[in-house]
Homo-oligomer: A and B are copies of this chain.
Amino acid sequence: MNISPLQKARYSYVPKLPEGISGSIDDIAVEKGCPTESISDKEEIRKIFKNTYGKPLVTFKKAENQNNTQIHRELKVGVILSGGQAPGGHNVIAGLFDGLKKGNPNSTLYGFKGGPGGLTDNKTIVLTEEIINEYRNTGGFDIIGSGRTKIESDEQFAASLETAKKLNLDAVVVIGGDDSNTNAALLAEYFLANGSNTQVIGCPKTIDGDLKNEHIETSFGFDTACKTYSEVIGNLCRDTNSAKKYWHFIKLMGRSASHIALECALQTQPNICLISEEVEAEAMSLDQIVEQICTSIVKRADNGDNFGVVLIPEGLVEFIPEIKKLIIELNDSMADGADEFAKLTEFCEQTNWLSKKLTSASFEIFKSLPADIAGQFLMDRDPHGNVQVSRIETEKLLLGMVEKKLSILKEAKKYNGKFSALTHFFGYEGRCAFPSNFDSDYCYSLGYSAFVLISCGLTGYLSSVKNLTAPAAKWTAGGVPLTMMMNLEQRHGSKKPVIKKALVELDGKPFKSFAEKRVTWAEKTCFLFPGAIQYFGPTEVCDAPTITLKLEKEV
């Protein structure tokens, strides 16, 4: 196989394991805590998860000669990669595989192909040592592919059970985000309720960083993705600090939460970083956001610095109350008047039609948008009739409005700089990078820990590795009952049990640390240049976790 020199070199990297699960598997002791409760809506959630609710937290400790014969059982396990790619997925599978084979060389690991659909449709490959070795410490989900099918209907649960029976599966491991793990919990419950012994174990994946809580310190992939974005953002910072003539407006992936933007801001110290959660909490208007950016541009121009960097989270527009309202009104009007709207081919006709449908406040906002961007609000809806926010070029929207405001300021003699700007969107570039040493170790540990959870006969658990700011040997591995992280939320018209998404906390240390410094950053040039992810150098360069994680763990 023709592979890159780095890929070849990464094959020989040996991921570090937490002490509790390193060494001989005969020395792993399983400590169980007290029964647990969900974070809220306890009674409702207990009813939904009759068989899996209230299980204890589990921790693995090193203790000699446990003589755990269970761990040497011959097992058949299937693994699923669910949803968007995140660096380290291959290492979760490698850790799981190595654990299984260490337990019993005759154990089998099936890979479900193309995401959860592989389970319902029974599309598998048997993962061999030879296959696994081609993917160790590499990025991507290409070992078995991923998919966005959600296992949530009765038919899908039944089909999954059918597959589990056919393959005689002891367990299914679901590597996914909050939604996929919610569905993993439901599947675990379904299996037990239907007399199946197939266990279900989840692993916390998402570059967005929004699957975290008291028991999950971070989701895997966040580290690598943020470092990859920070590399290129830092390069743009250095470029503009050299050429001194451009403002870079950079949109970053992250539909709901702004963890990525915040982490990248902490790593690169741009002039402006918008945080969706703050915009919503402060009920900021689009005009206020534009004002904030312009204030920085004007101040810097007064200092002779006609350049800078602005970070924008992908999902921002939905967090601006007036735009959120506009989007809802647009969705409703375009759904109600779908036939009428479809006949309007010109933008001016569409605008005219909307003037009669939208509230006057929303219509004013709509008219204030640059025309090409306003058009993006009217593009094809998703299957639920919603505007596809990821297709709105928020970075160009803000740039267009900033340009407008600057020209007003210039006429009023309140701004005398030169303004030239470039826009960027970084997202897909970070989802399949070679996992950082942190993600390589963390993911391998999560996979290995998933194996230990399976061998203990547990189901409805999320594999968990904690104390992540310490060296890997000091990490602790174990499992968290999935129901423990749940609450009820409104989804498509009814209350559903879901794992609570972690948004940026405005009173959390990462945001506060950012908020303390941003006034200076907005005016001065304080850029940091993190450079490319390093896999081989000094430990302070290669093994540091994200700044977010470090700040969150600080006492």
User: When each residue 2-22 of chain A gets 1 if its CB lies under 8 Å from chain B and 0 otherwise, what string results?
Assistant: 111111111000000000000
Q: Which of B232, B242, B372, B535 is close to A429, meaning CB atoms less than 8 Å apart?
A: B232
User: Is residue A51 within 8 Å, beta carbon to beta carbon, of the partner chain?
Assistant: no
For A, the interface residue count at a CB cutoff of 8 angstroms equals 61
* Cβ A526 vs Cβ B2 within 8 A: yes
Which residue of chain B has its CB nearest to the CB of A431?
Answer: B239
User: When each residue 264-289 of chain A gets 1 if its CB lies under 8 Å from chain B and 0 otherwise, what string results?
Assistant: 00010100000000000000000000
* Cβ A85 vs Cβ B372 within 8 A: no
User: B residues within 8 A CB of A3?
Assistant: 528-529
Which residue of chain B has its CB nearest to the CB of A232?
Answer: B429
Which stretch (A26-34, A134-142, A362-370) binds chain B? Answer: A134-142
User: B residues within 8 A CB of A235?
Assistant: 139, 228, 428-433
Which residue of chain B has its CB nearest to the CB of A89?
Answer: B242
Number of copies of this kind of chain in the complex? 2
* Cβ B541 vs Cβ A5 within 8 A: yes
How distant is A269 from chain B, measured CB to nearest CB, in Å? 8
User: Is residue A197 within 8 Å, beta carbon to beta carbon, of the partner chain?
Assistant: no
How distant is A13 from chain B, measured CB to nearest CB, in Å? 10
Bound: A146/B246 CA distance, A: 13
How distant is A224 from chain B, measured CB to nearest CB, in Å? 10
Q: Which of B139, B145, B146 is close to A529, meaning CB atoms less than 8 Å apart?
A: B139
User: Is residue A532 within 8 Å, beta carbon to beta carbon, of the partner chain?
Assistant: yes
How distant is A61 from chain B, measured CB to nearest CB, in Å? 33
User: When each residue 419-445 of chain A gets 1 if its CB lies under 8 Å from chain B and 0 otherwise, what string results?
Assistant: 000101000111111100000000000
Which residue of chain B has its CB nearest to the CB of A537?
Answer: B536
The 9 closest A-B pairs by CB, nearest first: A536-B537, A532-B532, A238-B432, A140-B238, A6-B531, A141-B242, A239-B432, A232-B429, A140-B242
Contacts A/B (CB < 8 Å), 18 sampled = A4-B267, A4-B531, A6-B530, A6-B541, A10-B531, A139-B235, A141-B242, A236-B429, A238-B432, A239-B432, A242-B432, A246-B428, A372-B372, A424-B429, A534-B534, A534-B535, A536-B537, A536-B538
